[in-house]
Amino acid sequence: MGIIFGEVKVTSNSRSALQAVEFARDRGHFHSFHNRVFYAYFTDTRDIGNVEVLLDLAQEDGLDPAELQRALAEGTYLSRLFHARRDADALGVTAVPTFVVDGTHKIVGAPSPDLFRKRLAEVQSQVRPG
């Protein structure tokens, strides 16, 4: 997949990063900002639990860092995180990544593309047309 993993030495608390991604989603920057945060953590080994890091990433992605800082300080997106966690718990999600297909079939982890396609084909054969 072309991802280069650095030696992560700090396990970041991702709560602020998850809120920042929701902020970016509302501004049409979900994919670009999400990727930027992913690479900042896993490749560049930056601490995505540090608000200053998130503000830098937001600016790099064309988002307003001051607006993001306000949203984080006010907890604007905490309810979304709560609801997402509740939904994940209801689906029995215990690991990241977990892909849920048709609300019931789970693929846990990050298998190779071939294995992922095979698993999706297996799930598709089990799903009945509604």
Q: Where are the alpha helices (DSSP H) in 15-112?
A: 15-26, 30-42, 51-60, 65-74, 78-90
Residue 35 lies in a domain: yes
3-state secondary structure (DSSP) of residue 48: coil
- Please tell me the predicted confidence (pLDDT) of residue 73: 98
Residue 10 lies in a domain: no
Local confidence band at 103 (pLDDT 50, 70, 90 cut-offs): confident
**Which of 80, 102, 118 is where one domain is finished?**
80
130, with CB counted inside 10 A (0-12, 13-18, 19+), is exposed
- Asked if 97 contacts 110 with a C-beta cutoff of 8 angstroms, the reply is yes
Residue 105, pLDDT score: 80
Model confidence at 28: pLDDT above 90: yes
Say whether both 74 and 97 belong to one domain: no
The verdict on residue 3 lying in a domain is no
100 forms beta bridges with 106
For residues 44 and 129, the model is more confident at 44
Same structural domain, 20 and 75: yes
Q: What is the pLDDT of residues 36-74, one digit of tens each?
A: 999 999 899 999 999 999 999 999 999 999 999 999 999
Most distant CA pair in the chain: distance in Å? 49
117 lies in which domain range?
Answer: 92-126
